[in-house]
Structure 1
Amino acid sequence: MAPVTSTTRPYHVIIFGASGFTGQFVVEELARCTAEGPSGHLTWALAGRSRPRLEKVLNQAAETLSQPDLRTDVEIIVADVTEAESLAIMCKQAVVVLNCVGPYRFYGEPVVKACIENGSHCIDICGEPQFLERMQLDYHSKAVEAGLYVVGSCGVDSIPADMGILYTRDQFKGTLTAVESFLTIHTGPEGGCIHDGTWQSAVYGFADRAYLKTLRRRFGHQPLPVVGARVKNRGSLFFSKEVEQYAVPFLGSDASVVRRSQRFLYEEHQQSPVQYSAYVGIGGIGSVVKMFCGGLLFWLMVKFGLGRKLLITFPGFFSFGLFSSAGPTKKQMEGTSFSLTFYGEGYGDGLEPSLGQPNAKIITQVKGAEPGYVATPVAMVQAAITLLNEPQSLPMGGGVYSPGAAFAKTTLIDRLNRHGLKFSVKTG
């Protein structure tokens, strides 16, 4: 790991929400990375509401990684998202705050506000478009004035998709005009499971879809130009020859995040925008039936307060066991991996995009270990290390950005490749 930017602050990084389900894995990943460099290379601390819980996480990481010095080298800061003064004290001690406290629609804004007001950058792993886009709308100018960076969605939602589009564009010989991505999850004999924090974000996000449309109108954006042939929508359910299973539109934050990055690169760097559609493979006909029944029930219940309360209270029942308050077991995590495959098309070198149909294609892929609690901590930690080490390669002056906008000119993809998120060209 290259030397980090020097600082007069006590800590280069503070992990806020370190005792949460995802936060504990971010602690382990940061500890692994700091062990790669010389002693004292990067200073960091844990923060959260409960000192005993944070101590437990630190002890667990020390034991898991066989790094007993963690118990004495890593400090603990008590901070509560509902107590502005405690957030201010925390933020004044950090160069970068890694915010792991969600759902972000309820708990994210106080952290963003405290970071900007107290001189620290902020990185999160949010997959909630409403929150991400509202932070850009309400805090971008404030972050610019302060010269600070707020970069959301730095987990598997949505670094693989956002940086994957940039990687595909860079590998394409010509003008890339459109990309479709297909996410597939591979599980072992133990199956897979997701912590119910993600489920809660989905419940509240679907319940508040109308607000997102209103929010986007406030930006006043003009539609991005369509370069080349317009890509047709695949529909709500189809059999994908690409992944050889049924697929549906991916309802996570990927499309929203990529669109924000493409707009930034078009408006600030005059790069030709790429059309993007995101899909996820769901399996065979049995999975289709299960998804249809569960999706219909979810859609009906999420409209009403009582329905949302039941969904939140019994995530395992209403998700057919996919979500759980206990999260995945160690064996489930070890047996799970993901691949995100990009099918791009465009115009080869020397061919004008305004003439005829696309004549060139490319297939790229991002692969990694279990996405939620192995790959996400890797992505978050490498985003923070990139921000610390390469401030000269970030957008000038600070602001609220998507990963692709913030890290387009950095070595983030190389760093991810070295830490288990593999970017590769399949054909093209």
Structure 2
Amino acid sequence: MATDRLDVIIFGASGFTGKYTVFEAVTVLNGLRWGIAGRNREKLESVLKQMGAKSKKDLSQTPIFIADINDETSLLEMAKRCRIVVNTAGPYRFHGEKVVNACIEAGTHHVDVSGEPQYMETMQLKYDKRAKERGVYVVSACGFDSIPADMGVVFVEKNFDGVVNSVETFLESGVKEGTGPGARAGLNYGTWESAVYGLAHSDELRGIRQKLFPQRLPKFYPLLKHRPLIFRSTEVDKVCLPFPGSDRSVVMRSQRFLYDQDKKRPVQMHAYVGFPSWIAAAAVVLFASIFGLMSKFQIGRNLLLKYPGIFSGGLASREGPSEESMERTYFKMTFKAIGWPQADRLAESTDQYTVPPTKTLMVRVSGMNPGYGATCVALLSTALTILRESDKMPNNGGVLAPAAAFSKTSLISELEKHEHGMKFEILANK
């Protein structure tokens, strides 16, 4: 890559996630040369002014590039001006592929915060070979909640002192006590839109995966069983439901890669989300059922997109959550790992155990402001890690899930450095 390039360009910087990525860039990218890009210069200048005031830094000299999803030449020119594009412009199923294509053509790395399995797996199917040829890393799911899940499994394996058979994750999120009545957790409209279209087209995944992974993974025993639809978890003392996000698909992509690449026994994984009461969990089931049904029909999608506040119970809005809400919102993801102690390790990682797993490890990944603080820090930290530690990453390029890309790097340490980063801790080791 040309030495006169900037290190990083944040694309979509005038969007909701983009502007907070600019704010976090002041500290995370300290010492690097970075710029911003988007369609409208006035809006980009406004973001620099607003985030400069918030960070108490003069950002007026930050380079600005005009790039539009509908102008592929402008995307290519933007990509040629940096070593890595940090892409915050979703929904990625509509806007992501053109940016990925431009980056690969320019020989520029690409990271984003997509939580859309169809997009992520389609990019791997279509562009993995070309990315390797060009020496380019394309890594999606680089925000909350996939980074805690995928890198959390990496943290589990590094601290297990044995062989992990399975991991269950339990996600909790809420607002700290003492918050004013107007403060609550929330989503911006882009995240809501991605969820609507992701569920609407979820039936696409089977066909994509059959092409992406024509050979199925062998089964490793014992198989991790699903919990009931609704259950009280003794691990976190919450009423839990299956987590509908992309965590499991992201983790399993990483585990598949590590099996194919290193013949490492893949970790089985199921993801759950916790609620304070049976009533709260039942209400979520009701909202989710309505959401799922409506997303399958055009008229239903139109209503969901037109009235996000009504159909999300007030969580999503076109304006996005307030800064007070975001700063008061916390998350905790608890991991229960089960496996075998080091003394029982088999000669070959692909062998089957004939004795039940006896070792348990509990860990937690936690932080504040998950959607627009921790997400932005994680996204920028992945970019920083690619720039600094590509020699510890696989294959000199490719379209990868986070743990596949960063399992041998110091990404976890980088995430722990920042105010809006993430804390990785061991709770119990038996």
Q: State whether TM-score is above 0.5.
A: yes
Q: CA shift at 1:28, angstroms?
A: 0.7
Give yes or no for the alignment of 1:57 onto 2:47.
yes
Name the counterpart of 1:274. 267
Q: CA shift at 1:33, angstroms?
A: 2.4
SS in 1 for 2:23: helix
Q: What is the 5 A alignment of 1:103-182?
A: 103-182=91-170
Name the counterpart of 2:349. none
Give yes or no for the alignment of 1:71 onto 2:46.
no
Which stretch shows the higher mean deviation, 204-213 or 96-105? 204-213
Q: Report the number of matched residues.
A: 416
Q: 1:311 aligns with which of 301, 304, 307?
A: 304
For residues 180-235 of structure 1, the C-alpha deviation after alignment (integer angstroms, 9 at most, x for no partner) is 00010021332211112111111111111111111111124333234342111013
Q: 2:4 aligns with which of 2, 9, 13?
A: 9
Q: CA shift at 1:240, angstroms?
A: 1.4
Q: Tell me, yes or no, if the aligned pair for 2:167 and 2:338 is still in contact at 8 Å.
A: yes
Q: 1:84 aligns with which of 72, 85, 102?
A: 72
SS in 2 for 1:108: helix
Name the counterpart of 2:16. 21
Q: 1:230 aligns with which of 204, 223, 242?
A: 223
Name the counterpart of 1:422. 423
SS in 2 for 1:239: strand
Q: How far apart, CA to CA, are the structure 2 residues paired with 1:329 and 1:310?
A: 24
Which TM-score applies when normalising by structure 1? 0.95
Q: CA shift at 1:321, angstroms?
A: 0.2
Q: How far apart, CA to CA, are the structure 1 residues paired with 2:313 and 2:94?
A: 26
Q: Structure 1, unaligned stretches of length 5 or more?
A: 1-5, 36-40
Q: Tell me, yes or no, if the aligned pair for 1:9 and 1:95 is still in contact at 8 Å.
A: no
Q: CA shift at 1:285, angstroms?
A: 2.3
Q: Tell me, yes or no, if the aligned pair for 1:12 and 1:42 is still in contact at 8 Å.
A: yes
SS in 1 for 2:343: coil
Q: How far apart, CA to CA, are the structure 2 residues paired with 1:225 and 1:79?
A: 45
Q: How far apart, CA to CA, are the structure 2 residues paired with 1:187 and 1:404?
A: 29
Q: What is the 5 A alignment of 1:232-271?
A: 232-271=225-264
Q: 2:327 aligns with which of 311, 324, 334?
A: 334
Q: CA shift at 1:176, angstroms?
A: 0.8
Q: How far apart, CA to CA, are the structure 1 residues paired with 2:339 and 2:362?
A: 12
Which TM-score applies when normalising by structure 2? 0.94
Name the counterpart of 1:3. none
For residues 293-352 of structure 1, the C-alpha deviation after alignment (integer angstroms, 9 at most, x for no partner) is 212221221121011001001000011101111111111112111011100000012225
Q: CA shift at 1:380, angstroms?
A: 0.5
Q: How far apart, CA to CA, are the structure 2 residues paired with 1:84 and 1:202?
A: 26
Q: Which amino acid aligns with 2:413?
A: D
Q: How far apart, CA to CA, are the structure 1 residues paired with 2:340 and 2:26?
A: 45
Q: Which amino acid aligns with 2:15?
A: G
Which stretch shows the higher mean deviation, 235-244 or 127-136? 235-244
Which stretch shows the higher mean deviation, 90-99 or 150-159? 150-159
Q: CA shift at 1:121, angstroms?
A: 0.6
Q: CA shift at 1:9, angstroms?
A: 3.2
Q: Which amino acid aligns with 2:57?
A: Q
- For the aligned residue pairs, the C-alpha RMSD in angstroms reads 1.3
